[in-house]
Amino acid sequence: MDTQDLRRLANAIRRRDLQAVFEAGAGHIGGEMSVIDILTALYFHVLRVDPENPQDPTRDRFVLSKGHTACALYVVLAEKGFIPKDEIKTFLKPHSRLNGHPNRTKVPGVETNTGPLGHGLPVAVGMALAAKLDNASWRTFVVTGDGEMQEGSNWEAIASAAQYKLDNLTLIIDHNRLQQGARLAETNNLAPFPPKLEPFGWAVEEIDGHDMDQIVAALSPEKVVPGKPRCIVAHTNKGNGISFMSDNVAWHHKVPNAEQYKQAMAELEEANQ
């Protein structure tokens, strides 16, 4: 897909995600809107994955460390063909495999269970190291939240990735400046991230996380620096694409009412024209 097609698809994914959260009466809509452009670029332009063979040993690996945005991942997986599109309507329903956090044993395409923050990057480091030990060419990508980067386990993983020169690993920080209940600047502000990651031996780039051209360019294999793990700091907006949700901490875990849902859907549909 070219970047124009990716933008259109990301907007369609936003609309389906919004519908799923509204119908389920629960979800993490704000963080889902901030990460959807990144997920779309990964699954439809970058990752070497096959929905017909989700356990292909040569596949690229993707870990959604900010697992509370699982609904966005499910919609992307459905669009890619890993699960039926019609299954999205079961999100959070009794006995559905589409839980509030992704489950590797239930959902094809999910590489590891996530939810407790600070676990995804350490697992991804292990995956990337395994590929190095096997002299395999597949790559590992992981998306974390910026609030999640406050977890000490992430910094241990960052040190280990540099020690083992894991240039087959890409960390994408969804830097929407908000976490549950507060702004990052009001809690434990780690921004700016590049001056903290670069001394560990990482190659770091900052981009607009809603500019599809910048996302695709940053994820290009040509950007890999030999011997250095890579970090993309993606500047995003929580609730992106929906006026009353954008950059609003209240929408970390909140469901729109019928009037808000109608307005949000109209704004997303207008943006696609």
Fold of 3-271: Rossmann fold (3.40.50)
Angle between helix 258-271 and helix 3-24 axes, rounded to 10 deg? 170
On the question of pLDDT at 117 being above 90, the answer is: yes
Q: How far apart are CA 166 and CA 163, in angstroms?
A: 8
Average pLDDT in the 159-165 region? 98
Average pLDDT, the chain: 96
pLDDT for 202 equals: 98
For residues 66, 259, 248, 62, the Cα torsion angle rounded to the nearest 10 degrees is 20
- Please write the tens of the pLDDT for every residue from 181-220: 889 899 999 999 999 999 999 999 999 999 999 999 999 9
CA 163 vs CA 125, 175, 201, 205: distances in Å: 11, 25, 8, 20
Q: Among 255, 225, 260, which residue's Cα sits nearest to residue 91? A: 255
State CA 112 to chain mean position distance: 13
List residues bridging with 179 in a β-sheet: 182
Residues 6+ apart with CB under 8 A from 103: 97, 110, 113
CA 56 vs CA 61, 74, 75, 116, 192: distances in Å: 10, 20, 21, 27, 37
Return the number of other C-beta atoms located less than 10 Å from residue 194's C-beta: 15
pLDDT for 180 equals: 86
153, two tokens: 């386990």
| Opening angle at CA 207, ends 58 and 169, nearest 5 | 25
Report the chain's terminal Cα–Cα distance, integer Å.
18
- Please write the tens of the pLDDT for every residue from 19-54: 999 999 999 999 999 999 999 999 999 999 999 999
Domain boundaries, the chain: 3-271
